[in-house]
A = this chain, B = another copy of it.
Amino acid sequence: MVGAKTEVIDGQTPITFACAALKKAGLRITQPRISILTALIERKQPSSIEQIHGDLAKDSCDLVTVYRCLAAFEEIGLVRRSFYHNGTSLYTINLGETNTGYHFVCKETNQVEGIDAETTAELRRCVLMVEETLKARGYTDVTHMVEFFGKAPQATRTATPLTAPARTN
């Protein structure tokens, strides 16, 4: 589940796909945006603003720009923002794949890892069942969020740990 640089969607590379999404939404393709999207694509894991900014070549773009771009990307659905149990909000690029699946968040490194579909297949089924039950009771627009957290084995920790918990306390 890491470093998926060469995948293509409809015969396009991820960055081409993303740029097309910008264009389609009437947003301009700028150097900072390309860098941000590239960082997001290369990381492939949910990433914090701070982290994305840290990945960018020094002074290649202001932190404020990262905030603004991610907000814009989120608005057009190019990225998804999710809040994790540790209070951080992380962004994931949306390259149009079916679904993002469930994640594991390491308490120590704050890194997020996908959990393979096979392991979570039945879980997904159950969750959908609950959603159906809720809908039947009059709840609408029902979605869900499942998150596992704890300590990841050293082996799965990457070389680039997240800077730190966004939230101190």
> Does A127 reach chain B (CB closer than 8 Å)?
yes
State which size class the interface on A falls in.
Answer: 35 or more
Q: Tell whether, in the assembled complex, residue A146 and residue B144 are in contact, meaning their CB atoms are under 8 Å apart.
A: yes
Main secondary structure of the interface of A (DSSP, over half): mixed
* Interface membership of chain A positions 109-142, coded 1 if the CB is closer than 8 angstroms to chain B and 0 otherwise: 0000001000110110111011101100111111
Q: Tell whether, in the assembled complex, residue A138 and residue B150 are in contact, meaning their CB atoms are under 8 Å apart.
A: no
Q: Tell whether, in the assembled complex, residue A145 and residue B85 are in contact, meaning their CB atoms are under 8 Å apart.
A: yes
Q: Tell whether, in the assembled complex, residue B123 and residue A150 are in contact, meaning their CB atoms are under 8 Å apart.
A: no
Residue of A125, A143, A155 most packed against chain B (CB within 10 A) = A143
A123, closest chain B residue (CB): B126
* A131 and B143 in contact, given A83-B84, A84-B83, A87-B83 (Cβ under 8 angstroms): no
